[in-house]
């Protein structure tokens, strides 16, 4: 996905060992479609060379306010005016202190001070020793930078170059890319609390066997990420999948349908939107064995008795909050054939205002999908595309319906 196509990003590097991560970040930004102009401080050049950053950005690196390549000799003015965003990664404690004080003794701080604040966002990715990060002066500076309109991104936790362990690491390049992408998304769900279910459930037969399905959880995880990008507070109830949790999303892991139902019931009372994207097993063994079932030599499988699992979506949709309009419910239907007919029937049966249909065998485990939005007025197709792009379209549709009073 060329999520940053047409965007011009100024990537600033201040001094710190985390500069080695900036090379990969620059590569990811260009891969996402952005043009990248690297600006480095003298200290940053002690950790990574301008030659490296020039090779990755395909543009000459600017290191001095006296750069004679600018016709008007004002790179600190021109660079900020041309940018869609300025991202400083790493942002050292010293650089953040300078920005708070309005000091401008190098090109990077000059550019930040001279940028058009109303249209060029400034994002800072702090990187420093854990004691430096925790110091009251640094925390005061973070608070002041935020008050001044800068976006101070979170720090990571873990091993540090000094040998210590704790908060203060710069986030990894893919995380920084995701946060930058999220910054550009319209905050159409600001103030909303969104609960999403994703992935399959696993219904145990015995300690080593069970019943599940091919759902990868990718679509539900994409919806959770898109909702968080749109400004919502998001909780994701996930079945057994191996996917990274979207940044800023609270995750609750479950295995069975009964566990998923309990997790949803624990969270849905605070939600304003419920998106049931999980592929919940319809049945479970009535009595799971507490020991592995052995073959008995007869050549016949063991006799299993099944019971129906609870319908999580229908239960939530029938609640007082959903019926009063305080909770907007969205369902998913993974069908194998006759998508429109089956999806519309499922929407009515579940009692939800909006149902999202797709052909399960064509999308399970894939990065792309095609959706059918089904409501009381009919169906609308969302063309085939990356699941995150489709999730963002679905989030925009949910926001539109919320603004219209669910119409």
Q: Which positions are catalytic?
A: 162
- Strand bridging mode 354-359 / 368-375: antiparallel
135 Rama sector, left if φ>0, alpha if ψ -120 to 50, beta otherwise: beta
Alpha-carbon 203 to chain mean position: 29
CA distances from residue 97 to 103, 106, 122, 142 in whole angstroms, order as listed: 9, 14, 15, 9
Task: Tell me how crowded residue 238 is: count the other CB atoms within 10 A of its CB.
Answer: 24
The closest alpha carbon to 235, from 184, 183, 285, 272, belongs to 272
Contact 311, 282 (CB under 8 A): no
What is d(CA 277, CA 308) in angstroms, rounded to the nearest whole number?
19
Phi and psi torsions of 318, nearest 5°: -90, -5
CA distance 20 to 36: 17
Give the pair of three-digit tokens for residue 327.
Answer: 């909770």
What distance in Å separates the CA atoms of residue 79 and residue 110, rounded to the nearest whole number? Answer: 10
Q: Are 35 and 65 contacting, i.e. CB atoms less than 8 angstroms apart?
A: no
CA 253, distance to chain mean position in Å, is 17
Rounded Cα gap, residues 140 and 122, in angstroms:
18
| Separation of first and last alpha carbons in the chain | 31
């Amino acid at each position: 996905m060329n999520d940053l196509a047409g965007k011009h990003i100024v990537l600033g590097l201040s001094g710190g060992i985390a500069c080695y991560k900036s090379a990969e970040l620059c590569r990811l930004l260009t891969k996402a479609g952005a043009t990248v102009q690297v600006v480095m401080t003298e200290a940053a050049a002690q950790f990574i060379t301008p030659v490296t950053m020039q090779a990755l950005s395909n543009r000459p690196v600017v290191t001095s306010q006296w750069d004679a390549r600018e016709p008007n000799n004002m790179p600190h003015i021109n660079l900020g005016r041309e940018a869609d965003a300025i991202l400083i990664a790493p942002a050292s404690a010293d650089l953040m202190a300078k920005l708070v004080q309005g000091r401008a003794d190098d090109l990077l701080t000059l550019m930040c001070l001279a940028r058009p604040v109303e249209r060029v966002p400034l994002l800072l990715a702090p990187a420093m020793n854990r004691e430096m990060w925790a110091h009251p002066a640094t925390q005061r500076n973070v608070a002041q930078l935020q008050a001044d309109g800068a976006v101070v991104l979170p720090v990571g936790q873990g091993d540090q170059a000094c040998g210590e362990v704790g908060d203060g690491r710069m986030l990894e390049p893919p995380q920084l890319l995701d946060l930058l992408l999220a910054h550009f998304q319209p905050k159409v769900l600001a103030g909303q609390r969104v609960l999403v279910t994703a992935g399959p459930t696993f219904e145990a037969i015995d300690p080593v066997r069970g019943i599940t399905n091919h759902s990868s959880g990718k679509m539900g995880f994409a919806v959770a990420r898109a909702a968080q990008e749109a400004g919502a507070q998001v909780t994701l109830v996930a079945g057994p999948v191996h996917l990274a949790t979207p940044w800023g999303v609270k995750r609750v892991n479950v295995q069975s349908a009964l566990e998923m139902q309990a997790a949803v019931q624990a969270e849905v009372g605070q939600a304003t939107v419920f998106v049931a994207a999980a592929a919940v097993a319809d049945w479970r063994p009535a009595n799971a064995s507490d020991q592995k079932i052995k073959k008995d030599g007869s050549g016949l499988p063991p006799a299993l008795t099944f019971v129906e699992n609870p319908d999580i979506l229908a239960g939530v949709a029938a609640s007082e909050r959903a019926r009063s309009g305080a909770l907007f419910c969205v369902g998913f239907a993974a069908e194998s054939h006759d998508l429109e007919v089956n999806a519309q029937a499922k929407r009515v049966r579940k009692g939800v205002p909006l149902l999202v249909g797709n052909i399960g065998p064509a999308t399970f485990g894939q990065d792309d999908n095609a959706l059918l939005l089904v409501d009381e007025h009919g169906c609308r197709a969302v063309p085939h595309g990356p699941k995150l792009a489709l999730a963002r379209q679905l989030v925009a549709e949910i926001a539109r319906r919320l603004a219209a009073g669910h119409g």
